[in-house]
Chains A and B, each alone.
Chain A
Amino acid sequence: MKVDSPRFELHDADSGEPAILELSGDWVQGQTLPRFAMLRPQLTDTRATQLSLDTDNLGEWDSRLMAFLLQCRNCCDQQDIKFDASALPDSAQRLLHIATTVPRHQRQGEPPRHWWQIGNPLALLRKTGRNVVQSVAFFGAVCIALGRLLGGRANTRFVDFWHFCYQTGPNAFAIISLTSLLVGMILAYLGAAQLQQFGAEIYVADLVVIGVLREMGVLMTAVVIAGRTGAAYAAQLGTMQANEEIDAIITMGISPIEFLVTPRILALLVMMPLLTIYANLLGILGGALVSAGMGISMLQYAGHASDAVSLTHIGIGLTKSVVFGALIAIAGCRAGIQSGRDSAAVGQAATQAVVTSLIYLIVADAAINILCQQLDI
């Protein structure tokens, strides 16, 4: 079948007479089609009050002819030109009719944002301020829910609590083992290299024990849990938001904070210290492995290590673990509960949960360390 190249031609006429738009050729895939933009200036110039079509030489056509005709029709309406489609094939006439029955929607609301508005420091400041206010409000709501739990009046299911404990704790053993063992080894290498210069390698044990107990054990555990559990919390709650499950909980008269957030927070409050103790043990073991490789016997290492261990160090580490656990759970749950309702928003919530928890962790860690410094502990 021979395919003719698609064309149009406007035969203008004086006012009173209809202008004729001649369409010819095959308007199908593989052809370069004329653009409506070429016809528009001619239409705006014409003084004719009616536009008729001549389709005698029109061959095959697809949606692009219809798109062309629709633009043509809309342009005629704007110019108060009567558009006479009667020369079109029946199906094209019907399609054009369907496409023009509903008037076009005019978008209202916010004007488009420009790049300079995105970086606007005032707007950023306002957004951050709003965020802080919301965080504080969420924290307050959580405190109230925990208070009600202590008073025995909360709608919190303990089945959920055990379930989350299991997810957070035992399921994370493998990855916590790996990271904390390696962190212990890294600390030992780092310390040994410096201490060797003074012939004081034996103090590697002190360095590893204090470093792991006070700082690295709990911090690495928290980072792992933020990525693992915090993000999971946000994704779970975000999906529930998208499925209108949270709406269902609210309309049943149950507080979503008590029902969804409390068990998750409690699970992290319980599991974080336990995981931290485990991570501390493995970190010290990692240090011992490296020391053994440097000619310090296990016995020497153990002797120095047991001298260095003190309840203060352990206590500081565990305090941090409780604080970090609460912060991770709050960041994750808040991101999830305030998530949008589509699949992309759930992904954003998970990202936001991890980013926020990491910021919380670093800030809280610094604050606690400064406090300890000031109090001489």
Chain B
Amino acid sequence: MTDDTAVDIEVRDLTMAFGANVVQRDLNFDIKRGDIFVIIGGSGCGKSTLLKHMLGLIEPARGEILYRGESFTRATNAERDVMRRRWGITYQSGGLFGAMTLAQNISLPLQLYTDYTAAEIRDVVDYKLSLVGLGGFEGYFPAEISGGMEKRAALARAIALDPDILFFDEPSAGLDPISSRLLDELIAQLKESIGATVVMVSHELASIFEIATNSVYLDADSHTMLDYGDPRMLRDHSEQPIVRQFLSRSTEHQEEPANE
């Protein structure tokens, strides 16, 4: 069903600023349907800020963002809510509701936006938790589980409504290398099975090369995007030395897993 040429998100001449402090200017790129799109760049270059612009949590200083051909920037709040219903989102610091159990966290969007019965919601919640390897943890509160489990629970909440587009801000940050690798694999597998588009901010170069199909590199010094394309291509053939350096230097001191 996924049409290879369809574009989910278009970013046009986007300039992001806090007051007079311009974070990034003149961003132009497309995110195709079915992509795993990664936003890459050093700390503080504006990756989270870009994601928040795409989610409509911050308004652009200039430029526009389009979803499936329709302007998100110029949409009314009600129209935005309709678009957002097709999205699943996890936040950099989790964003699970601490006063609710995992089951309540995941059933909230189901109660709001579907006509499922209470028993069906219970079954679907159980299924979503099983998908992220948390079957049996319905009754736990976020504070009672580990950081890695919280990240997975947030993922379960993000996929509760079978979204078309998934946004993740550093989904594996703060996890040990094995857990973070497993989480990335899980994201890739889920994405493959539910056929969603994934937009994520990530630092894990190993996983970027493993699962990403497209990427944009934001530069903190020149305040703009330096390059755009498949991260493996950028690593080997980018015309920007900074990008090649960023993508390859970090792989040097990150042991390549058994290639022999």
**Pair A66/B127 contact, Cβ less than 8 Å:** yes
**Pair A67/B141 contact, Cβ less than 8 Å:** no
Interface residues of B, dominant DSSP? helix
**Pair B135/A104 contact, Cβ less than 8 Å:** yes
Partner of B131, one of A30, A36, A64, A99: A99
Interface residue stretch chosen among B51-59, B167-175, B192-200, B241-249: B192-200
Give the distance to chain B from A25, nearest Cβ to Cβ, in Å: 16
Interface residue stretch chosen among A11-19, A271-279, A339-347: A339-347
Give the distance to chain B from A63, nearest Cβ to Cβ, in Å: 5
Give the distance to chain A from B179, nearest Cβ to Cβ, in Å: 13
**Pair A99/B142 contact, Cβ less than 8 Å:** no
Give per-residue flags for A182-206: 1 if the beta carbon is below 8 A from chain B beta carbons, else 0. Answer: 0000000000000000000000000
CA distance A243 to B123 in the complex (A): 34
Which of B120, B190, B193 has the most chain A CB atoms inside 10 A of its CB?
B193
Partner of A67, one of B127, B142, B189: B127
CA distance A95 to B131 in the complex (A): 7
Which of A30, A33, A342 has the most chain B CB atoms inside 10 A of its CB?
A342
How many chain-B residues does the 8 Å CB contact rule pick out? 31
Give the distance to chain B from A13, nearest Cβ to Cβ, in Å: 27
Q: How many A-B residue pairs have CB under 8 A?
A: 77
**Pair B194/A342 contact, Cβ less than 8 Å:** no
What residues of B have a CB within 8 angstroms of the CB of A92 in the complex?
Answer: 193
What residues of B have a CB within 8 angstroms of the CB of A104 in the complex?
Answer: 130, 135-136
**Pair A98/B186 contact, Cβ less than 8 Å:** yes
Asked whether A29 and B115 contact (CB < 8 A) given A63-B162, A94-B189, A105-B137, the answer is: yes
Tell me whether A106 is interfacial, beta carbon within 8 Å: yes
Task: Return the chain B residue nearest A33 by Cβ.
Answer: B120
What residues of B have a CB within 8 angstroms of the CB of A105 in the complex?
Answer: 134-137
**Pair B193/A98 contact, Cβ less than 8 Å:** yes
**Pair B98/A99 contact, Cβ less than 8 Å:** no
CA distance A342 to B145 in the complex (A): 13
Give per-residue flags for B117-154: 1 if the beta carbon is below 8 A from chain A beta carbons, else 0. Answer: 00110011011101101111101011100000000000
Asked whether A102 and B133 contact (CB < 8 A) given A30-B115, A66-B127, A67-B120, the answer is: yes
Tell me whether B18 is interfacial, beta carbon within 8 Å: no
Give the distance to chain A from B135, nearest Cβ to Cβ, in Å: 4
**Pair B99/A344 contact, Cβ less than 8 Å:** yes
Q: Which of A76-119 contact B (CB under 8 A)?
A: 91-92, 94-95, 98-107
What residues of A have a CB within 8 angstroms of the CB of B126 in the complex?
Answer: 67, 70-71
Tell me whether B76 is interfacial, beta carbon within 8 Å: no
Tell me whether B114 is interfacial, beta carbon within 8 Å: yes
Tell me whether A62 is interfacial, beta carbon within 8 Å: yes
Q: Which of B213-243 contact A (CB under 8 A)?
A: none
Partner of B194, one of A67, A91, A100: A91
Give the distance to chain A from B50, nearest Cβ to Cβ, in Å: 26
CA distance A70 to B136 in the complex (A): 13
Give the distance to chain B from A193, nearest Cβ to Cβ, in Å: 49
What residues of B have a CB within 8 angstroms of the CB of A36 in the complex?
Answer: 123
Tell me whether A35 is interfacial, beta carbon within 8 Å: yes
CA distance A17 to B203 in the complex (A): 52
**Pair A94/B192 contact, Cβ less than 8 Å:** yes
Asked whether A101 and B133 contact (CB < 8 A) given A29-B114, A63-B162, A91-B194, the answer is: yes
**Pair A95/B193 contact, Cβ less than 8 Å:** yes
What residues of A have a CB within 8 angstroms of the CB of B134 in the complex?
Answer: 102, 105
Tell me whether A8 is interfacial, beta carbon within 8 Å: no
**Pair A107/B136 contact, Cβ less than 8 Å:** yes
Q: What are 27 A-B pairs with beta-carbon distances under 8 A?
A: A29-B114, A36-B123, A63-B162, A64-B123, A66-B127, A67-B120, A67-B127, A71-B123, A91-B194, A94-B193, A95-B131, A98-B193, A99-B127, A99-B130, A99-B135, A102-B133, A104-B135, A105-B134, A105-B135, A105-B137, A106-B136, A107-B139, A342-B99, A342-B141, A342-B142, A344-B98, A345-B98
Interface set of A (CB-CB < 8 Å, partner B):
29-30, 33, 35-36, 62-64, 66-68, 70-71, 91-92, 94-95, 98-107, 340-345
